[in-house]
Amino acid sequence: MKFRRAAGWEPHLERLRLAYPVRWRVAAGLACMVAAVGLQLAIPHGIAYAVDNIDRFRDGGIPFHLVLTMLVVVVLYAVTSMARFYLMHTAGYRIVARVRRRLFDTIVHQPIPFHDQHHVGELSSRLSADVMALHESLTMGAGNALRSLTLLLGGLAMLLHLSPVLSLPLAVFIPASLLVGKRSGASYRERSREVQSSMAAAGKTAQEYFSNVRLVQAFNQQDGAARAYARTVRRLLEVSMANARMMAVYQGLQSILTLLALVVTVCLGVHLIAQGVLSIGELTAFILYASMVTDAASSVAEFWNSWMRTLGATDRIFALLREGQPPLAADTGRRLGGAIALRGVRFSYPERPGMTALDGIDLEIAPGEKVALVGPSGAGKSTIANLILGHYRPEAGQMLFDGVDAAEIGLAAVRRHIAIVEQEPSLFSGSIAENIAFALPGREVTREELVAAARLAHAHDFISAFPQGYDTVVGERGVQLSGGQKQRIAIARALLRDPGILILDEATSALDAASERLVQSALDTLMQGRTTIIIAHRLSTIAKADRIVVMDDGVVRQQGSHAELMRQPDGLYAALIRNQVQHQMPARILHPASP
Ligand SMILES: Nc1ncnc2c1ncn2[C@@H]1O[C@H](COP(=O)(O)OP(=O)(O)OP(=O)(O)O)[C@@H](O)[C@H]1O
Note the pLDDT tens digit of each residue in 217-274. Answer: 777 778 888 898 999 899 889 988 888 888 788 878 878 887 888 788 888 888 888 8
CA of 202 to the centre of ligand 1 (A): 28
Q: Which residue owns the Cα nearest ligand 1 atom 25?
A: 377
364-382: pLDDT as tens digits: 999 999 999 998 888 999 9
Q: Which residues line ligand 1 (CB under 6 A)?
A: 116, 349, 351-352, 357, 375, 377-383
Of the candidate ranges 130-139, 437-446, 464-473, the one whose mean pLDDT is the lowest? 130-139
CB 194 within 8 A of CB 239: yes
User: Which among 118, 363, 383 is the best mutation to test ligand 1's pocket, defined by most ligand atoms within 8 Å of the CB?
Assistant: 383
Mean pLDDT of 100-126: 81
Atom of ligand 1 nearest to the CA of 116: 1
| CA neighbor of 119 nearest in space, from 194, 200, 199 | 200
| CA neighbor of 473 nearest in space, from 517, 521, 503, 428 | 428
Please determine, for residue 353, whether its predicted confidence score (pLDDT) is greater than 50.
Answer: yes
Please determine, for residue 505, whether its predicted confidence score (pLDDT) is greater than 70.
Answer: yes
| CA neighbor of 478 nearest in space, from 536, 422, 517 | 422
Please determine, for residue 119, whether its predicted confidence score (pLDDT) is greater than 90.
Answer: no
Q: What percent of the chain has pLDDT over 90?
A: 11
Mean pLDDT of 407-430: 83
Those residues whose C-beta lies under 8 Å from the C-beta of residue 403, and which sit 6 or more positions away, are 339, 341
Model pLDDT, residue 589: 43
Helix axes 280-323, 64-109, angle to 10 degrees: 10
Mean pLDDT of 194-222: 80
Of the candidate ranges 27-31, 287-291, 415-419, 474-478, the one whose mean pLDDT is the lowest? 474-478
46-81: pLDDT as tens digits: 888 888 887 777 777 777 888 888 888 889 988 998
Q: Which residue owns the Cα nearest ligand 1 atom 17?
A: 382
User: Which among 349, 361, 424 is the best mutation to test ligand 1's pocket, defined by most ligand atoms within 8 Å of the CB?
Assistant: 349
CA of 383 to the centre of ligand 1 (A): 6
Q: Distances in Å between the alpha carbon of 506 and those of 100, 282, 287, 440, 538?
A: 37, 87, 80, 23, 8
Rounded to 5 degrees, what angle do the CA atoms 184, 186, 188 make? 65
Q: Which residue owns the Cα nearest ligand 1 atom 30?
A: 378
Model pLDDT, residue 4: 46
Which domains are present in the chain? 2-323 (1.20.1560.10)
Q: Which residue owns the Cα nearest ligand 1 atom 18?
A: 380
Q: Which residue owns the Cα nearest ligand 1 atom 2?
A: 349
Q: Which residue owns the Cα nearest ligand 1 atom 31?
A: 378
Would the CA dihedral through 553, 400, 520, 524 be positive or negative? negative
Query: DSSP character for 511?
Result: P
Band of residue 20 on the pLDDT scale cut at 50, 70, 90: low
Model pLDDT, residue 550: 93
Model pLDDT, residue 366: 92
User: Which among 119, 351, 352 is the best mutation to test ligand 1's pocket, defined by most ligand atoms within 8 Å of the CB?
Assistant: 352
Is 370 strand, coil or helix? strand
Tell me which of 567 and 145 has the higher pLDDT. Answer: 567
Q: Distances in Å between the alpha carbon of 376 and those of 379, 382, 537?
A: 6, 12, 10
CA of 553 to the centre of ligand 1 (A): 10
Model pLDDT, residue 482: 81
Q: What is the ipTM of this complex?
A: 0.95
CA of 376 to the centre of ligand 1 (A): 11
Q: What percent of the chain has pLDDT over 70?
A: 88
Which pTM value belongs to this model?
Answer: 0.69
Atom of ligand 1 nearest to the CA of 352: 4
Buried b (16+ CB within 10 A) or exposed e, 237-255: eebbeebeeebeebbebbe
Q: N- to C-terminal Cα distance for the chain?
A: 83
Q: Distances in Å between the alpha carbon of 561 and those of 177, 549, 575?
A: 82, 9, 15
Q: Which residue owns the Cα nearest ligand 1 atom 9?
A: 383
Tally of CA atoms within 13 A in the half-sphere of 344 that contains its CB: 3
CA of 349 to the centre of ligand 1 (A): 9
CA of 536 to the centre of ligand 1 (A): 15
CB 104 within 8 A of CB 120: no
Model pLDDT, residue 297: 78
Model pLDDT, residue 86: 87
Please determine, for residue 593, whether its predicted confidence score (pLDDT) is greater than 50.
Answer: no
**Four-point Cα dihedral 124, 129, 132, 137, nearest 10:** -140
Task: Give start and end residues of each alpha helix (H) in 350-446.
Answer: 381-388, 406-409, 411-416, 432-437
Band of residue 587 on the pLDDT scale cut at 50, 70, 90: very low
267-322: pLDDT as tens digits: 888 888 888 888 888 888 888 888 888 788 777 877 777 777 777 667 777 777 77
